[in-house]
A and B are shown apart, each in its own frame.
Chain A
Amino acid sequence: MLVLSRKKGQSIMIGHDIEISIIDVQGEQIRLGINAPRSVTIHRKEVFEEIIQENKQAASTAISPDIIRTMRIEKKEDES
């Protein structure tokens, strides 16, 4: 892994069109600014890991399709 030291207000470039700036540093909290083309997907890593965990849980259901077929949901009112 490449490790760089940066100060508040400085930035790094990844390729020619992705810029990551240090906006602010307060204790353990660092605010990053990201300039990237709209074609680049950016996620907080923990959100992505949460989706992986949820998918693994969904994939390992012990309930048989015959029971799932008969399940009926509580109809929700439009909350919007």
Chain B
Amino acid sequence: MQLQTKNFGEITVDENDIITFPAGIPGFEDLKRYTLLGKQETEALFFWLQSIDEPSLAFVVVDPFSINPGYFVDADDSEMEEIDIKNPEDVLTLAIVTVPENVKNTSVNLKAPVLINLKNNMGKQIVMKNETFPVKYYIMNG
């Protein structure tokens, strides 16, 4: 499938690379289909969760474990069931990055990670109840 994106020009998306978010992403509930861009690039720290249905929408994402070695995910049963997670090893965990105009204030949302079940390509952004990790975890000190 061809997609004319705002950030990356025209891209080709294989049907097998489409990730379905049954509930969308909070704030974007109507957009259910996404794909990952730029993840294959070597040493890529940041990559993109590109909306299929809204080509101008792409979230910057990062592997939260790479920026905070003490990170962990605590998901409810209901959240796991929603995307049919049977084995934690099947899950790709991403965190959404907020890049403001002053990039020094770039932050990562560690409280609400995006879980992707690689077995069925279903995704969900969960909101952890514990107060361990903040919505804005700043990654550029100074």
Binding site for B on A (CB under 8 A): 38-41, 43, 47-48, 50-59, 61-65, 67-69, 71-74, 76, 78-80
Contact = CB atoms under 8 A, between A and B. Distances in A.
B44 A58 contact: no
Interface of B: 7-8, 25-28, 38, 41, 44-46, 48, 57-60, 67-70, 76-79, 81, 96-101, 103, 106, 109, 111-112, 125, 127, 129, 135-136, 139-142
18 contacts: A38-B76, A38-B78, A41-B79, A50-B135, A51-B27, A55-B96, A55-B125, A58-B99, A59-B28, A61-B98, A63-B103, A71-B45, A71-B103, A72-B45, A73-B45, A76-B68, A78-B69, A78-B70
B28 A55 contact: yes
Chain B interface main SS type? loop
A58 B69 contact: no
The 8 lowest CB-CB distance pairs between A and B, nearest first, are A80-B70, A52-B27, A78-B69, A55-B27, A58-B98, A73-B139, A61-B99, A38-B77
B77 to A, nearest CB: 4
Given A51-B26, A51-B112, 13 more contacts: A39-B78, A43-B129, A47-B127, A55-B26, A55-B28, A57-B98, A58-B109, A59-B27, A65-B7, A71-B103, A76-B69, A78-B70, A80-B69
